[in-house]
Structure 1
Amino acid sequence: MNVYCGLDWAENHHDIALVNEAGERLAKQRITDDAAGYKILLDLLVAHGDTPQAPIPIAIETSHGLLVATLRTGTRQVYAVNPLSAARCRDRHAVSGKKSDHGDALVLANILRTDMAAHRPLPQDSELARAITVLARAQQDAVWARQQIANQVRSLLRYYYPAALQAFLGKQNGLTRDDARIILTIAPTPARAAKLTTTQLQSALRRSGRSRGIEAEAGRLKEIFRGTYARHPQPVEDAMGLQLAALLLQLDAACTAADRLAQAVEEAFLKHPDAQILLSFPGLGVQLGARILAEVGDDPTRFVDARALKAYAGSAPITRASGKKTYVGRRYVKNHRLMHAGFLWAFASLKCSKGANGHYRRRRAAGDWHAAAQRNLFNRFLGQLYYCLQSRNLFDEHQAFASAA
């Protein structure tokens, strides 16, 4: 007799429901979110036929946390059911619209009983791949947080400090540069910046790690800071300087966190056996390659074919047909982190791959907009990546874009 388990999770407790093939509820239980509760869950599964050779599959609405890590030990299949899918299936069991934790656990168990083939279990990635996933996502979040704070600094500088924008925004990395943050820290107001001497500016540039062109850069900054600009009254300007100083503390912390996580990502990614395959693709560096690996994983059985990988990434178009009407458009339900990395990958490959650039140009000539052409190029790269990972071959541009000839 096959048994299926549904698990409705919460912060402090979890509800369990077990059903058989006929849909009869065999057991229900509420456990706490701690080691004692996890042991009760495992004992309950064993009592209903769970063995290492034939573990009971479990459906849950999350893929993270200690509970999921406990369930993923061994060969057990854990299905992370989308909460939207679970909500749609709830109406099949309670048309009145009632909702309860025990009822949701029962719905999840019945989803496995009736529609297991329509859901994908969590991949059996290696421990190194899971660690790369944690680090790559954390580094991506740190980069986004850094940019968000930098945008706040830029918005504030527009109100009272236009000289700082003129001095740093035209350079690479803008306000997140070390020299920009150091100089703005010692001169958070236009009045203090205008009083900086050449020696002070040179000293600040050296503290930021700069070793070349210090004299010329100091002269440029001095000329900009001593220019003529509109000014607020001094008390208002000083208050905005204090606000800028507070934002700079947050920006320094965000920059430090992003840099340290980037170093950790590089160390972990280069240890993975798939790293050399990913780095052989044009436009993929260590950080971007780690983000791709973090979302794709290293389980060779996760995707049955390249089309499944493309649908997961959202690069493959979706068709809606009804009667005489047919619509082909982009996917909205997808792995957004993988799609974000895909756009960066496609854009970076245009300068280092003639085949990728030619493919992009042909798509634009066919009528695609910039984003659509990039998405199509990313879709093609994913098919090639799937082949290279399955065959353990490096990327070969002559074979990848041979049809262009």
Structure 2
Amino acid sequence: MIYCGIDWAEKTHDVALVDDSGRLLAKRHITDDMAGYKILLDLLAEYGDTEETPIPVAIETSRGLLVAVLRTGKRPVFAINPMAAARYRDRHAVSRKKSDPGDALVLANILRTDIHAHRPLPADSELARAVAVLARAQQDATWNRQQMSNQLRSLLREYYPAALAAAAIWQNGLCRPEIREFLKAAPTPVMARRLTRSQITAALKRAGRKRAIEADTERLREALRTDWAHQPPLVEDALGKQMLAVLLQLEAACTAADNLAKAVEEAFVQHEDAEVILSFPGLGAQLGARVLAEIGDDRERFADARGLKAYAGSSPITRASGKKSAITRRWVKNDRLNHAGYLWAFAALTSSPGAKAHYRRRRDGHGDWHASALRNLFNRMIGQLHHCLQQHELFDEQAAFPAPPALEVSAA
């Protein structure tokens, strides 16, 4: 058996091949281009890499063109956590020396000694991987949009509270196109007080508003004409220019989030698992795509629901030593899936009577806090999702949350 380890970098990579005894068979220093990839594939083929007997490869990343090239065919690729690789390095050298060729050798030996303890990259379909790219990008764009919105709010508090009062009539108002158009027309409080009804109405129409324009015009005009404290004129003008610069970044973030949201929905509905995922209460196209992005569609990835629950960080972990034992939540988990699970469980409370009853039992009967009760609900529902995806069944409220026996007897 041959094992391959690759220490990757931005421009070059180091490759090492070892046999069952740990003997170094070959090492190469390749470039990060097609010529370097060809050298790597030829080296693997020279030592017996075929479709029937692929050589497993260990590398410290799961992304990039190099990984995409390695994943062609049936070759198993193991993404080793850099922290785990650093611990293995101490097994081979107590002097704490480090080199790129040495790290490639360490990665190869990880597979030689502990391949059973590591999981290869899942064999997800091309569509599932595309959904993952779009869903993660949309999630990042949403977080970036919120960050820019918070930055704009902090700036407006320094000199323009009237704009915040005007945006308060809408939820997440600073991200609304109406407020963005208004701030472009009046970047300072002095300019805002000079706006006429027709100018405010024109700004609302440029933002795409077609209903309740007159009512919103009056609310905006009233908010702008309220007495507020002012910065000195020159300082106010300077802050207005800074605000316009931040506003451009917020507009770009809003546009990116909206465009990616459309792309996510178009790709997600094409997947065969979309019907099953969307049948669950609390999961829409955006949130469902995020769940699919993190769990993938490789049915062999998780042997049972317990593995998926541990991966999502929803199941508790026990820490025991001697007579002491503590049950706590997991810290090592897929943060994106865990975040999506919190939103999923929270949304399910209003769309599933069984989910709401389960949440109330955790809060009232077990004394859980809000986050703990939601995590417990997510733990139960993601186990149900694992079953439904394996059997390709739709969500069934009665099967997922059956009535307690006492209630069934009383109803009879």
- RMSD between superposed Cα atoms in Å: 0.9
Name the aligned partner's letter for residue 109 of structure 1. A
SS in 1 for 2:349: helix
Name the aligned partner's letter for residue 32 of structure 1. T
**In the alignment, which residue of structure 1 is the partner of 2:398?**
398
1:220-265: CA deviation from partner (whole Å, max 9, x where unpaired): 1111101111111111111110011111111111111111111010
Q: Structure 2: how far apart are the matches of 1:120 and 1:237? A: 58
Equivalences for 1:150-229 in 2 at 5 Å? 150-229=149-228
Matched, 1:377 2:374: no
Name the aligned partner's letter for residue 116 of structure 2. A
SS in 2 for 1:332: coil
**In the alignment, which residue of structure 2 is the partner of 1:46?**
45
Q: Structure 1: how far apart are the matches of 2:260 and 2:183? A: 25
Q: Structure 2: how far apart are the matches of 1:316 and 1:101? A: 38
CA shift, 1:173, in A, is 2.5
**In the alignment, which residue of structure 2 is the partner of 1:329?**
328
TM-score where L is the length of structure 1:
0.98
Q: Structure 2: how far apart are the matches of 1:398 and 1:209? A: 44
SS in 2 for 1:352: coil
CA shift, 1:170, in A, is 4.1
Q: Structure 1: how far apart are the matches of 2:379 and 2:269? A: 25
Q: Structure 1: how far apart are the matches of 2:169 and 2:5? A: 55
Q: Structure 1: how far apart are the matches of 2:367 and 2:90? A: 43
Structure 1 pair 57–403 and aligned structure 2 pair: CA distance change class (3 A): farther
**In the alignment, which residue of structure 1 is the partner of 2:360?**
361
SS in 2 for 1:334: coil
**In the alignment, which residue of structure 2 is the partner of 1:27?**
26
SS in 2 for 1:18: strand
**In the alignment, which residue of structure 1 is the partner of 2:389?**
389
Name the aligned partner's letter for residue 377 of structure 2. L
Q: Structure 1: how far apart are the matches of 2:237 and 2:319? A: 59
**In the alignment, which residue of structure 2 is the partner of 1:236?**
235
Q: Structure 1: how far apart are the matches of 2:48 and 2:375? A: 47
SS in 2 for 1:7: strand
CA shift, 1:403, in A, is 5.3
Equivalences for 1:6-405 in 2 at 5 Å? 6-365=5-364, 366-402=366-402, 404=404
Q: Structure 2: how far apart are the matches of 1:66 and 1:270? A: 27
Segment drifting more, 368-377 vs 286-295: 368-377
Runs of 4+ residues over 3 Å off in structure 1: none
Q: Structure 2: how far apart are the matches of 1:23 and 1:285? A: 50
Q: Structure 2: how far apart are the matches of 1:157 and 1:169? A: 13
1:193-227: CA deviation from partner (whole Å, max 9, x where unpaired): 11111111111111111111111110111111011
Name the aligned partner's letter for residue 370 of structure 2. H
Q: Structure 1: how far apart are the matches of 2:8 and 2:328? A: 35
CA shift, 1:369, in A, is 1.0
Q: Structure 1: how far apart are the matches of 2:209 and 2:377? A: 38
Name the aligned partner's letter for residue 275 of structure 1. A
CA shift, 1:98, in A, is 0.6
Q: Structure 1: how far apart are the matches of 2:376 and 2:53? A: 42
Name the aligned partner's letter for residue 131 of structure 1. A
Q: Structure 2: how far apart are the matches of 1:335 and 1:39? A: 33
Q: Structure 1: how far apart are the matches of 2:279 and 2:196? A: 49
Q: Structure 2: how far apart are the matches of 1:223 and 1:358? A: 45
CA shift, 1:327, in A, is 1.2
CA shift, 1:371, in A, is 1.0
CA shift, 1:49, in A, is 1.2
Q: Structure 1: how far apart are the matches of 2:403 and 2:127? A: 37
Any unmatched runs of 5+ in structure 1?
none
1:341-399: CA deviation from partner (whole Å, max 9, x where unpaired): 11111111111111111111111111111111111111111100000000000001111
Name the aligned partner's letter for residue 220 of structure 2. L
Q: Structure 2: how far apart are the matches of 1:35 and 1:396? A: 50
Q: Structure 1: how far apart are the matches of 2:163 and 2:352? A: 37
SS in 2 for 1:351: coil
Any unmatched runs of 5+ in structure 2?
408-412
Q: Structure 1: how far apart are the matches of 2:157 and 2:360? A: 38
1:142-175: CA deviation from partner (whole Å, max 9, x where unpaired): 1111111000000001111111111113412220
Q: Structure 2: how far apart are the matches of 1:351 and 1:210? A: 30
Q: Structure 2: how far apart are the matches of 1:302 and 1:207? A: 49
SS in 2 for 1:253: helix
Q: Structure 2: how far apart are the matches of 1:55 and 1:243? A: 57
- Aligned length, in residue pairs: 404
Q: Structure 1: how far apart are the matches of 2:320 and 2:169? A: 49
Q: Structure 1: how far apart are the matches of 2:168 and 2:280? A: 32
Q: Structure 2: how far apart are the matches of 1:61 and 1:96? A: 22
**In the alignment, which residue of structure 1 is the partner of 2:410?**
none
SS in 1 for 2:350: helix
